[in-house]
C-alpha cells in the first residue's frame, strides 16, 4: 500500500479525477474528448497504469457507464451528466470498457497498490454498477429517491462563499451574516415548504465574490441540487451589510428556483440577519 494515501470510496473523489471531469466540461465535443483521453490511456498504460492517468481514466469510464444505464452510486456523476450532454456510441463504450478493466486490474496498477486487499475489494464492489453498464449486464434500477424531511432541525440549505484568495474566513462579517441567514432559512417553515417541492434532500450553493475565474452552473443530482454563481462586485468582507448578504444569497436561490422550476421565492428580507 502506498504511504500517505487517502482511500477514496468512489471514482470521482481524487483530485486527478475531479480535474479530469472538470476539463471535459470545457470541451466543445465531450464524447470526442473522452475518446481521446481513453485511447491515450490504453496506449500508454499496458505495462503499468500510472498515477494520475488511472484515476482520471476510471472517472471518465464511469461517466460513460452512467450515461448508458442512468445508474450511478455517486452523486457527482448525476450532477455531471445533468450538466453535460453527449451520446455514447459502440466505439466509445468499447473504449470505456477496456479502460475500466485496465484501471481496475489488481496488478501493474498504481491505484490498486494504494489499497490493502479488503479496501480494494470494497472499492471494486462500489464500481460494479459501472462495470455492468459497460458490458450490458442486467441490473435493477434503484428505488426512486424519497427525501427525509421528518427532522425539522436537519438543514436543507448549505452555502459556501469564496473570493480570489480562497474560501472566506469563517470569522469574517460577511461569512457570519451568511451563516446566520442560512440558518434562518433552514428554520423557516415557509422556506422548508418551498424547498420540499423539489423532491430533493439538499440545495448546495457555491458563491464567488469579486473578480477572478469562477464557475456559473446549476445542476440536479439524484438527491441534491447545486448552484455555482458569482459577482464582479467586491464587498468589504469585514463590514458587510445585511442587505448585501441577502441580495447575494437571493441570486443563488433564484437561479436554483428557475432551474428546478420551484416557483417564486419566499421573502428573504423578512428573516433576521
pLDDT tens for residues 124-153?
999 999 999 999 999 999 999 999 999 999
pLDDT on residue 236: 63
The position carrying cell 474560501 is 167
Question: Do both 100 and 34 map to the same domain?
Answer: yes
pLDDT on residue 234: 67
* pLDDT, mean of residues 96-106: 97
Q: Which is higher by pLDDT, 272 or 209?
A: 209
* Residue 63 located in a structural domain: yes
* Residue 265 located in a structural domain: no
* Residue 102 located in a structural domain: yes
Question: Do both 41 and 119 map to the same domain?
Answer: yes
Rounded Cα–Cα distance for residues 181 and 13 (Å): 30
Are residues 157 and 205 in contact, defined by beta-carbon separation less than 8 angstroms? Answer: yes
* Residue 3 located in a structural domain: no
* Residue 2 located in a structural domain: no
Taking the CA atoms of residue 231, residue 236, residue 241 and residue 243 in that order, the dihedral angle to the nearest 10 degrees is -20
Question: Do both 120 and 27 map to the same domain?
Answer: yes
Question: Do both 30 and 120 map to the same domain?
Answer: yes
CA torsion through residues 63, 125, 70, 214, sign: negative
Tens digits of residue pLDDT in 222-271: 999 999 998 876 666 666 778 888 999 999 999 999 999 999 999 987 67
How many structural domains comprise the chain? 2
* pLDDT, mean of residues 97-121: 95
Domain that holds residue 89: 15-134
* Residue 93 located in a structural domain: yes
Cβ-defined contacts of 104-108 (< 8 Å, 24+): 104/58, 104/131, 105/49, 108/47, 108/48, 108/49
Amino acid at each position: 500500500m502506498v504511504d500517505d494515501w487517502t482511500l477514496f470510496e468512489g471514482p470521482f473523489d481524487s483530485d486527478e479525477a475531479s480535474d479530469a471531469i472538470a476539463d471535459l466540461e470545457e470541451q466543445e465535443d465531450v464524447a470526442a474528448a473522452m475518446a481521446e483521453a481513453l485511447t491515450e490511456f490504453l496506449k500508454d498504460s499496458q505495462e503499468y497504469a500510472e498515477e494520475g492517468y488511472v484515476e482520471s481514466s476510471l472517472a471518465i469510464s464511469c461517466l460513460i457507464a452512467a450515461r448508458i444505464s442512468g445508474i450511478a452510486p455517486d452523486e457527482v456523476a448525476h450532477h455531471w451528466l445533468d450538466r453535460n450532454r453527449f451520446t455514447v456510441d459502440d466505439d466509445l463504450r468499447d473504449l470505456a470498457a477496456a479502460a475500466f478493466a485496465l484501471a481496475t486490474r489488481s496488478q501493474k496498477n498504481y491505484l490498486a497498490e494504494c489499497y490493502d486487499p479488503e479496501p480494494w475489494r470494497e472499492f471494486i464492489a462500489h464500481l460494479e454498477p459501472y462495470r455492468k453498464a459497460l458490458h450490458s449486464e442486467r441490473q435493477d434500477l434503484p428505488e426512486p429517491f424519497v427525501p427525509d424531511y421528518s427532522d425539522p432541525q436537519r438543514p436543507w440549505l448549505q452555502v459556501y462563499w469564496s473570493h480570489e484568495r480562497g474560501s472566506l474566513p469563517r470569522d469574517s462579517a460577511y461569512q457570519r451574516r451568511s451563516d446566520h441567514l442560512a440558518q434562518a432559512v433552514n428554520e423557516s417553515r415557509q422556506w422548508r415548504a418551498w424547498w420540499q417541492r423539489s423532491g430533493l434532500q439538499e440545495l448546495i450553493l457555491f458563491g464567488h465574490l469579486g473578480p477572478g475565474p469562477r464557475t456559473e452552473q446549476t445542476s440536479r443530482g439524484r438527491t441534491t441540487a447545486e448552484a455555482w454563481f458569482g459577482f464582479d462586485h467586491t464587498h468589504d468582507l469585514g463590514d458587510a451589510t445585511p442587505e448585501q448578504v441577502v441580495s447575494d444569497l437571493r441570486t443563488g436561490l433564484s437561479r436554483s428556483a428557475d432551474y428546478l422550476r420551484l416557483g417564486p421565492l419566499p421573502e428573504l428580507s423578512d428573516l433576521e440577519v
